[in-house]
Amino acid sequence: MTPTSTTAVLALHYQNETLHPDGRIRVGLAEGGAARYAVIAAASALLAGARARGWPIVHVRIAFRPDYADCPRNTPIFRRTVELGAVRDGEWGAEFLEALAPQPGEREFVVTHTRISAFAGTPVEQLLHLVNAKRLLVAGVATHSVVEGTVRDAADRGFDVFVAADACAAADRAVHDASLASMALVATITTVAEAFAALEAMA
């Protein structure tokens, strides 16, 4: 792992439950729908581009014990997760979508979390410091939950954050757009292609 790395990718919740048509968590990506294909294509480009550039990738998945004893019940989103029987650890829904799955190698990490932000109760920050990441390129589903929660947390921790909007999705396009507008206060909102160009220019 090179100590000179300055940019890392956070790939959030690219899991069967959120992206596969048979998943229990709906983010507005219908089977055969153009939006679903577009998000998966953008996410694939994000991961491929990071690998080609040698940038570290932290793949973050959400998963709870089968009995949900580790799932907080203080928020509607997690109460709904329990009702749906979603993202149980060890089950298909909690696994990464095959097309966006981590690959073997010292530059790719997998972290499991049980809260909104990818940083909460996880080693994500330690991993980012380990690879000397100063800038983060973040994307995932859903835009207004794990992505926005993680982006705001990352900004508070001192990272320079870019959000690849085309590799993000929410069930309601208006909610997706509103979340991006809100994140623009603390991050640079861009596309995958634009982010690579901007970050390479800053290197």
How far is residue 85's CA from residue 124's CA, in Å, rounded to a whole number? 26
- Per residue in 107-152, pLDDT (tens digit) is 999 999 999 999 999 999 999 999 999 999 999 999 999 999 999 9
**3-state DSSP of 88-132:** ECCCHHHCECHHHCCCCCCCEEEEEECCCCCCCCCCHHHHHHHCC
- Per residue in 151-189, pLDDT (tens digit) is 999 999 999 999 999 999 998 899 999 999 999 999 999
Q: Which amino acid is at 81?
A: T
Assigned token pair, 81:
């997760």
More confident residue, 3 or 141: 141
The count of other CB atoms within 10 Å of the CB of residue 54 is: 11
- Per residue in 140-153, pLDDT (tens digit) is 999 999 999 999 99
Report residue 96's pLDDT band, with 50, 70 and 90 as the boundaries: very high
- Per residue in 33-68, pLDDT (tens digit) is 788 889 999 999 999 999 999 999 999 999 999 999
Report residue 1's pLDDT band, with 50, 70 and 90 as the boundaries: very low
Contacts of 89 (CB under 8 A, 6+ apart): 63, 64, 65, 66, 112
Q: Which amino acid is at 39?
A: V
Domains annotated for the chain, with CATH where assigned, are 7-202 (3.40.50.850)
Residue given tokens 């570290």 in the structure block: 56
